[in-house]
Amino acid sequence: MGIILKENNLIYTKMKHDKFLGSSTYKYNKATNTIYKKVKLKANIPQSDIQELNQNKDYVTDNEFRESINDFYNDGHQFSRFKNKDEQLHHEKPKRPKKTIYTLNKKKVREKCSAFFGLRKSKKFLAFYSISFPQNFPDEFAYKCFNTVLTRLRKKCGLKSYLWVAERQKNGTIHFHMLTNTFMQIRIVNYFMARAINNQIRKKENKGKINVNFDIQKYNGVDVRHVNNNRKALNCYLTKYVSKNTISFYKLPYHSSHDISELFTAETFVNENTNDFKPIKETLKHIKTFVVDNEWCTIEYLCQKQDNGKYFNPPDSWYWLRDFLNEQIYKNHYAKVKFDNMPLS
């Protein structure tokens, strides 16, 4: 049985898992105490061999056979439905492209924010930006403006590490929240956003699509707050802006920079009796939790508000090893010479 430690819960499972989870790029080898990149295996067949097989092929593959049957059936079906080409064009309706609907994965966002906060640079400085748009500003153009501003901030202000979440206001207009450990002057961020919105409105192809009253000189839709270097402050922001977000979007509801997506978010313990898990087990005896059982695992949630009225936040000592590994990954991401395997001393 394994125990997976996450930001606000523990998962007791019978399945085997890696020691550390949640990274898009790396894995951890406990035997060698090494962080290494995930290997994506691809079939490497020489192009000459492929051409030779295609030329000398004396058989029909399953896919080709299915395609020939489908073509035969479709041709006969179309001929029976339509007498001539004009009638076919008259009756056929243009197909509308299917839109993908995205919903916010709150657990994943909270875990990534926790890993982001565990970095040394983030503990020294972490800013929380709120970026809003004029009322009734379409989502499509809001995303374009936001992407334009992110590109400018990366080039002009040195923005590197960030994580953003989309949210919808009460009036239906979308706005964004962003965490970053890069210091940027709010005046410059506000100026870039005002220019981006104004440029979208003034474009000829967007006439009639954006009907808002906007004055570039009066725009002040960017707000920034400093996040104190404790998990309690971070949890307050996550509870306020992430946990209540239940709206669906036609574009990604959240995203992060590559360096943040590479970080580990969870740690696995073999059982309750390991030396690493004993301090956590001792703390669980004195705090309020509630347990949810299902077919695959048992989840023990940590209650943020305790019976004595005080708020409980997991201590940093619970995540020290995860944060240590993430620090090595973060440094390697910005190093001049990058390593696929990182031995740890």
Residue 339 is predicted with a pLDDT of 78
Q: pLDDT, tens digit, for every residue of 285-322?
A: 889 999 999 888 899 998 878 888 887 888 888 999 99
Residue-by-residue DSSP string for 55-78? HT--S--HHHHHHHHHHHHHHHHH
Instruction: Provide mean pLDDT across the span 27-35.
Output: 89
**CATH topology assigned to domain 99-262:** Alpha-Beta Plaits (3.30.70)
Consecutive H or E run containing 117: helix 106-117
Residue 177 is predicted with a pLDDT of 92
Q: Which of 65-69, 162-166, 179-183, 261-265 has the lowest mean pLDDT?
A: 65-69
What residues have CB less than 8 Å from 171, skipping those under 6 apart? 135, 136
Domain with CATH 3.30.70.1910 in the chain: 99-262
For residues 119 and 329, what is the distance between their CA atoms, to the nearest angstrom? 10
Band of residue 16 on the pLDDT scale cut at 50, 70, 90: confident
pLDDT of residue 243 exceeding 70: no
What residues have CB less than 8 Å from 118, skipping those under 6 apart? 316, 319, 322, 323, 326
Task: Determine the longest span between alpha carbons in the chain, in angstroms.
Answer: 80
Residue 42 is predicted with a pLDDT of 60
